[in-house]
Structure 1
């Protein structure tokens, strides 16, 4: 494992996604979402095996995979994205009778769950947190239940990390899965486990962005990396 963890800022991360979805890269957005969701579901399985109980989660793709692993996911999705790809993902979960619940207060949902998957915001998020997501951030910040954050902890600035004060300033998820590559705010992460996920990055794209491809084992879609590793922003 390299001694330095290379990270991508928001522009580089967006450019890399663009390269993957270009004619040269050959991926579609739904393929990348599927692979990312699969990685998230494996990270959940790693930190909280299904024999330990049910799971409450937010990632739509991850929720489908988790259902087939034997979990009982609950999806909090208060502000749906009105695009065909998201409509299809919701329909898939509805066909499996996976529960969506935007009415129950989030603190009650969290209390009924064993693990929260934080997939509220992506790396393009800019503070502050607005309604209706503020109640979820407030609950996760209290540490009521363990949290696995997807790519970047929600409410954190992608480069600067948690807010200096106010909502989200004390939010520290227990686990983090960085998709494709870690983001600069990973230097502020002090949780229990950090994973890199997304087993689709080829040597040419990795070389262009000066990234090290993790050594995935067997069928794994994730690789655990040290939490306290030195971070290098690219």
Structure 2
């Protein structure tokens, strides 16, 4: 097994790498299949050493061939193996046929899957459908997937959970929920976005000894965005002579009547991420409440758009949207911001207003959740979630700047010629109101400290996710609230520092 690489690929690209490895690098296809089976069995045996009864469910392609190798190795290890096939095994060809014949010679005779209860086994191996799946799963394959999910047993998926689209992470009708996915040659985009993180479980990678020069022939479809790579590079120690002006001035605009919390949390996040000055423009009734609770935030009561101009002029970066609302007050403030010429982070209701009157800028970061993304593209949430990287690219193309499409596997899409980055950190505890307000403040603070919009978006997403994981590690995911992340933002924004 090898460390997870940064690069993510589409299924067609990985198939081309496989072809090049066989036809141009001279690696026999059956050797690749054998290595894939060995890698899968090694991962399974290491995690479930007490398993004694194993069911291997094989399909009719090379994914099934990998499964036949796994079944034979499990039997050689002394386990009781039941080998199921879906489809006609007499139609197997090439390396998959060779693998099936080797399994038969070892005494493993595959039997058709006919609705068997899989709950009697200790471990299930999903070698049913591979990365070539594009249509909805039907028939016996669907029945087998549903049985695997119903069994309540650990599942090891070969290359990709059956039923998961390798490029988008969409579930094609039904998909296996695996405990571990052992994937080969190149990491597939769909394992890390959409439903992929939930279905794939732990992802284990093996390059099958395909030379790195094979991958160098193509541009990745996306990259993995993780805190351990991003934060040390983007957040070096500060100069000893730094002053508050050198750390940037962030202005957060929002907090219409009854929506005070959003703008305050965005401001606190900006401060904890290192902005030298943080100002808030909010309703008059809110300003003294914020000043009393957070004296490091300079809260200003603003009731008219014309009252905002001076505050915007003093700021290096403006974050607009948290608690802004869509009434006359929010619309007036947003219009001032749009014409002021300051770099922007745009979130929440500011995005909904932008969807009504689209415009383009190079110096802004848009941070929609799927619902806001659907409005920005005038489509449905289901369309956004069915291909999140395409949705982020569509928003960036229509509005320019940088798009941060939030959700499991947050997608950061900068300049169109660059591949998107997909966050691999974060946890379900962060699915709570207010987390997006923190992210808005974080990205704005990083821009104010000199990072480009794209670098700030990437680093901000990584920092936000890492803080969420650290906070969940202390007290669990359920019941996590946005303010739990604040001390961790400070800690993680200083990679050389200590505990909060």
Candidates 172, 177, 193, aligned match of 1:172: 177
Q: Distance in 2 between matches of 1:204 and 1:129?
A: 35
User: In the alignment, is the contact (CA less than 8 A) between 2:169 and 2:190 conserved in 1?
Assistant: yes
Q: Distance in 2 between matches of 1:206 and 1:167?
A: 31
Q: Distance in 2 between matches of 1:72 and 1:177?
A: 22
Aligned to 1:220: none
Cα deviation, 1:76-98, whole Å, max 9, x if unaligned, reads 11212432533332232222222
SS at match of 2:169: coil
Q: Distance in 2 between matches of 1:6 and 1:127?
A: 26
Instruction: Answer yes or no: is 1:119 the counterpart of 2:119.
Output: no
CA-based RMSD of the aligned residues comes to 2.9
Q: Distance in 2 between matches of 1:3 and 1:11?
A: 20
Change (3 A) 1:134 1:155: same
Cα deviation, 1:117-169, whole Å, max 9, x if unaligned, reads 111111111121122211111122335211111111111111222428x533x
Give 1:99 shift: 4.3
Instruction: Answer yes or no: is 1:181 the counterpart of 2:180.
Output: no
Structure 2 segments unaligned to the other structure (5+ residues): 58-66, 224-408, 412-419, 423-500
Aligned to 1:219: none
Structure with bigger helix share is: 2
SS at match of 1:12: helix
Alignment of 1:87-166 (within 5 A): 87-102=97-112, 104-106=114-116, 108=117, 110-142=118-150, 144-163=152-171, 166=173
> What TM-score results when the alignment is normalised by the length of structure 2?
0.39
Change (3 A) 1:141 1:127: farther
Change (3 A) 1:46 1:17: same
Give 1:174 shift: 1.1
Runs in 1 of length 4+ with deviation above 4 angstroms? 1-4, 209-212, 228-233
Q: Which has the larger radius of gyration?
A: 2
User: In the alignment, is the contact (CA less than 8 A) between 2:119 and 2:151 conserved in 1?
Assistant: no
Q: Distance in 2 between matches of 1:196 and 1:55?
A: 22
Q: How many residues align?
A: 211
User: In the alignment, is the contact (CA less than 8 A) between 1:73 and 1:99 conserved in 2?
Assistant: no
SS at match of 1:33: helix
Q: Higher relative CO (CA 8 A, sep ≥ 6), structure 1 or 2? A: 1
Structure 1 segments unaligned to the other structure (5+ residues): 213-227
Give 1:209 shift: 4.2
Give 1:195 shift: 0.5
Aligned to 1:10: 11
Change (3 A) 1:75 1:180: same
Aligned to 2:96: 86
User: In the alignment, is the contact (CA less than 8 A) between 1:176 and 1:194 conserved in 2?
Assistant: yes
Name whichever of 203-212 and 133-142 sits farther off: 203-212
> What TM-score results when the alignment is normalised by the length of structure 1?
0.78
Change (3 A) 1:117 1:232: farther
Q: Distance in 1 between matches of 2:202 and 2:78?
A: 23
Name whichever of 137-146 and 82-91 sits farther off: 82-91
Q: Distance in 1 between matches of 2:188 and 2:4?
A: 16
